Amino acid sequence: MGGDQDRIGAAEAASALGWWLEAGVDVAVAESPRNWLERKAEPSNVREPSPQAVSQALETLHLFRDWLGTAPSLPLGSLGTKRVLPQGPEAAPVMLIAEMPGPEDAAEGRPIGGEAWLLMTRMLAAIGIRAEDAYSASLSCFHSPGARMNAGELAECADIARQHIALAKPKRLLLLGDAPARALLGKPLAAARGHVHKIEGVRTLATFHPRFLMNRPSDKALAWRDLLLLMEEEA
């Protein structure tokens, strides 16, 4: 698995096996081989960036990430909140957009932290992707305990996320949790799951946040189906 990516090592393979067993998977892959990470031609109906995102245009991912780290008026930003900035390489095999950072995420300074990140690592290994090769971000880069986004903040975060995706140039996009699905797809997670979407021309799936799966392990089989669908080749 993994196309032109480096093969996963023994630790990643063991992690993937653990995930498959927990998800109740009988076989790891389909019977016929496929190049999951092959870049396909973009469809003609690629969505253009919104006017709001264009008005904030930054030319490179590096500049955009600097802006996320310093801009004073981002959604949910206020005195006492902690910024949790994205991590990972440009043009990654997959970009993860998670819900707002929780306490463990903020403590580790990463969009997905603690036990949830260990589980996410196993999920990525199961589809042949090393954790360090993935790009991870949050819908809002602020850890703001008890905060809930209103409709305006959700829309603003969506505009920022679309520009982020366009600059990061991932091959696949995985939305983790209800808030990213609502912001970027206009649907709750329950309605968005199980379907292929396109955001900025990138093949997109929505699935459960690993933090949710830790509390609902019975849904790991559903998450595995989402991962398989994400990695299918374009028709």
Q: How many CA atoms lie within 13 A of 179 on its CB side?
A: 22
Spell out where 37-94 has E strands: 82-83
d(CA 21, CA 120): 15
175 within domain boundaries? yes
- Name the residue range of residue 66's domain: 10-31+50-231
114 within domain boundaries? yes
Domain count, the chain: 1
146 within domain boundaries? yes
> Do 175 and 207 form a contact (C-beta atoms < 8 A)?
yes
CATH code, 196 = 3.40.470.10
68 within domain boundaries? yes
Query: Over the stretch 111-145, which tens digit does the pLDDT of each residue have?
Result: 999 999 999 999 999 999 999 999 999 999 888 77
143 within domain boundaries? yes
23 within domain boundaries? yes
d(CA 202, CA 95): 10
Query: Over the stretch 171-213, which tens digit does the pLDDT of each residue have?
Result: 999 999 999 999 999 999 999 999 999 999 999 999 999 999 9
43 within domain boundaries? no
2 within domain boundaries? no
